[in-house]
């Protein structure tokens, strides 16, 4: 299977990068909750917060994809394709649900009162656990 890409490795939750991402997600969820309690002005500020955090996660995802391209080629040579196929099957099952969650989060975060759900934290967890989602 020469044309199949291997899946990027998951990031441990308690690594520096994992802790930073989870902290940003938790702060965003708590801040969004507190801003959502303030009618009109808080909702407007929550939209700004959501846009800024979306930009952060999109830039991070693009940067990680570029950085992992070199590592993927090296990993294919060193470990072989059998392990990569097994990981891809597991990640694709969870990744399908996680992709749906990511797009739902984009919509729900802009709706007052529904944005109280901790979707940023859940999404950040899946981003770390299944980086290909």
Q: What is the pLDDT of residues 46-78, one digit of tens each?
A: 889 989 998 988 888 777 766 665 566 656 555
DSSP label at residue 130: -
d(C-alpha 132, C-alpha 128), whole Å = 9
Q: Which two tokens stand for residue 10?
A: 């998951």
pLDDT in tens, 1-55: 444 455 556 777 788 888 888 999 999 999 989 988 898 899 899 889 989 998 9
pTM for the full predicted model: 0.62
């Amino acid at each position: 299977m020469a044309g199949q890409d291997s899946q990027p490795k998951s990031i441990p939750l308690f690594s520096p990068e994992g802790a930073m991402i989870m902290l940003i997600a938790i702060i965003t969820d708590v801040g969004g909750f507190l801003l959502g309690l303030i009618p009109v002005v808080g909702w407007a500020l929550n939209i700004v917060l959501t846009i800024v955090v979306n930009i952060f996660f999109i830039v991070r995802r693009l940067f990680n994809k570029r950085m992992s391209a070199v590592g993927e080629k090296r990993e294919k040579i060193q470990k072989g394709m059998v392990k990569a196929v097994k990981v891809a099957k597991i990640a694709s099952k969870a990744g399908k649900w996680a992709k749906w969650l990511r797009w739902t989060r984009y919509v729900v975060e802009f709706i007052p009162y529904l944005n109280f759900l901790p979707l940023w934290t859940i999404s950040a967890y899946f981003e770390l656990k299944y980086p290909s989602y």
